[in-house]
Amino acid sequence: MSTKDFKMTRRSFSLRGLLGGGAVTVGMPILEFFLDANGKAFAASQGGGRLPLRFGTWFWGCGMIPSRWVPKTVGADYDLPPQLAPLQTLRQHINILSGFNVELGAKNNQPHISGPTALRTGDPSDNWQQITAPTFDVLIADAIGSGSYFRSLDMTADGNPRTTYSFRSGSAMNASTPSALDLYTKIFGGDFHDPNAATFKPDPKIMVRESVLSGISEQRKRFERAIGAADRERLDQYFTSLREVEQKLALQLQKPPPAVACVKPQAPGAMPPGTDYTDVQLRLANHKAMSQLLAMALACNQTKAFNMVFSESASDLRHAGNTTAYHQSTHEELIDRSIGYQPSVDSFAIQSMQAWADFVEALASIKEGDGTLLDNVLVFAHSDVSMAKNHDVRGIPMMTAGRAGGRIKSGIHIAGNGDPVTRAGLTLQQLMGVPTDTWGTDALRTSRPITELLA
């Protein structure tokens, strides 16, 4: 095919290379995460070499009741208090981080906001629109996410795309995919290439899309001239996003390395419009389906970073027919003196931990290399408060699951003894290769990673 119609630009180079069947040398990111130290491709699921580093977060709202959640013993083989009972068979994979505090200094405790903003950005904020730093999951995705189809998969089981705790800035929220069907379509829909397919042929439709988007990139200078300084940052964000979509398309033009554990799942059924995901049983079901899809997305090398929300800060979960939902119960339910806690709050907390167990189980159920997918992933779970009744941000519950390819220990309980909660975020960033030695502001500033976790 003639190439004379194409201008000599970055996009025409990429088209030309593909049209001519030759090697693509320009405008294509390298699939570095599939390469070993010698630059040779390997099959991730065959245990043949370095496995991709993957990281994700898992969020639930309204915390826990400390006397019912915090293990009495520290270190390995910690005990499982009633609210952690759902983790019975998974304990060896899960670390418990208790007693780490959000120190607010002179700032007000903004209910259900101070905790998660402090924990995710190192700086408590009155609302998400006011945060200045990216949440640390974004920093980690920037460090590890390139070269995969999705820089990050952001998901929520509550049906609302606005439910997310992942922000590049106060005005750049990473909206969530809100249902199992949406998630399936995003990952396994029309753009999906089975890494184990016998043959691979670059899709001309994708070549064309990449070429057309490159054409927009090339006009960046013209846009910059047309807009004012106040809008420069937003335009930069747009072009960064455009570049990521281009890179994703470029990857789709290359034969993906095989992934033995990857099996394209069945499409989940569509939920009727107006489905009420506040019902705890429906929520658990939607969340479980999404967790299994995510696990397969990881096994199929579609992403290396993810954020899953089970329930929002100030959890909206409820039982059908009850006038009082979880969040309201935390404030309103009287403590039953005979047992010493709020019984329905306790039951919602246990159901939240059941969801966490479902999530970890989904990752652990896929074999990868000599172990499971979970061994090659690190998931960080946390809530917005500890005791929701008074919005306590001391001892916000945190956990990790997985071994990150052997970088982190698992199965231990670490008591924070009032240390700043940011020690967790710092540790995770360092584990995932974000170059930082201190993190957080004011009383939350720390340069002490949780070394007990490091393998």
Partner 1 sequence: MRRTLLAATVAAICPGQLAHALPVQKDSAAQKQSYLRRLTEAQYRQSVADIFGGDIKVLGNFEPDMRVHGLLAEGTTRVSITPGGLEQYESIARGIAAQATDTEHWDKVVGCLPDAADKTGIRCAAAFFERVGRQLYRRPLQPVEVKSAVDDTLASAKKLGSYQAGLGAALAGMMTSPDFLFRVERPAADAELDAWSRASRLSYFLWNTTPDTELLEAAARGDLDTTVGLARQVDRLMASPRFNDGVRAFFDDFLRLDGLGSLSKDTTIYPAFSASITNAAREQTLRTISELLVTERGSYLDLFTTRRFAMNRTLGPLYNVPVASKEWTIYEFPASDPRAGLLTQLSFLALHSHPGRTSPTLRGKAVREVLMCEEIPAPPANVNFSVVQDVSNPNLRTTRERVQAHLNDEDCAGCHRKTDPIGLGLEKFDGAGQFRAMENNAAIDVAGDLDKASFVGAAELGNVMAKSPAVASCLVQSTYRYAMGRSIAKAEKPLIDQYKRKFAQSAYRFVDLVRAIALDPSFYSSPPVGDGGPESHGKEKS
- With 0-12 CB in 10 A as exposed, 13-18 as middle and 19+ as buried, what is 89? exposed
Query: Using the rule CB under 8 A, which residue among 53, 297, 300, 314 binds partner 1?
Result: 314
Interface with partner 1 in residues 153-182 (CB under 8 A): 154, 159-165, 168, 171-175, 177-178, 182
For partner 1, the closer of residues 205 and 448 by Cβ is 205
Contact between 251 and partner 1 (CB under 8 A)?
A: no
Provide the minimum distance between the beta carbon of 145 and partner 1 in the complex, in angstroms, as a whole number: 10
Residue 276 as a binder of partner 1 (CB under 8 A): the answer is yes
Contacts of 297 (CB under 8 A, 6+ apart): 150, 153, 187, 188, 303, 306
Using the rule CB under 8 A, give the single segment among 193-201, 239-247, 253-261, 414-422 that binds partner 1: 239-247
Binding part of the chain for partner 1, among 63-71, 259-267, 276-284, 296-304 by CB under 8 A, reads 276-284
Where helices occur in 82-135 by DSSP H, the ranges are 114-121
Q: CB 72: neighbour CB atoms within 10 A?
A: 8
DSSP 28: -
Nearest to 171 by CA among 221, 113, 231, 124: 231
The piece of 288-296, 313-321, 398-406, 421-429 that touches partner 1 (CB under 8 A) is 313-321
Q: Report the 10 Å Cβ neighbour count for 333.
A: 17
Q: Binding string to partner 1 for residues 185 to 204, with x set by CB under 8 A, is what?
A: -------------------x
Residue 21 C-beta: closest distance to partner 1, Å? 13
Is 77 or 224 the residue whose CB approaches partner 1 more closely?
224
Q: Is 245 in the site for partner 1 (CB under 8 A)?
A: yes
Rounded to an integer, what distance in angstroms lies between the CA atom of residue 425 and that of residue 192?
A: 33
Quickly list DSSP for 358-398. HHHHHHHTSEETTEEGGGGEEEEEE-S-SBGGGT--BT--E
Distance CA 100, CA 110 (A): 18
Question: Is residue 215 a contact residue for partner 1 (CB under 8 A)?
Answer: yes
Q: 138 with 174: CB under 8 angstroms?
A: yes
Paired with 172 in beta bridges are 169
Q: DSSP secondary-structure letter at 51?
A: P
**Is residue 333 within the footprint of partner 1 (CB under 8 A)?**
yes
Which C-beta is closer to partner 1: that of 69 or that of 326?
326
- Binding of partner 1 by 240 (CB under 8 A): yes
Q: At closest approach, how far in Å is the CB of 45 from partner 1?
A: 26
Least separation in angstroms between CB 63 and partner 1: 13
Q: Which residues within the stretch 1-40 sit at the binding site for partner 1 (CB under 8 A)?
A: 1, 5-7, 15, 19
Q: How many positions of this chain bind partner 1 (CB under 8 A)?
A: 91
Residue 270 lies near partner 1 (rule: CB under 8 A) = no
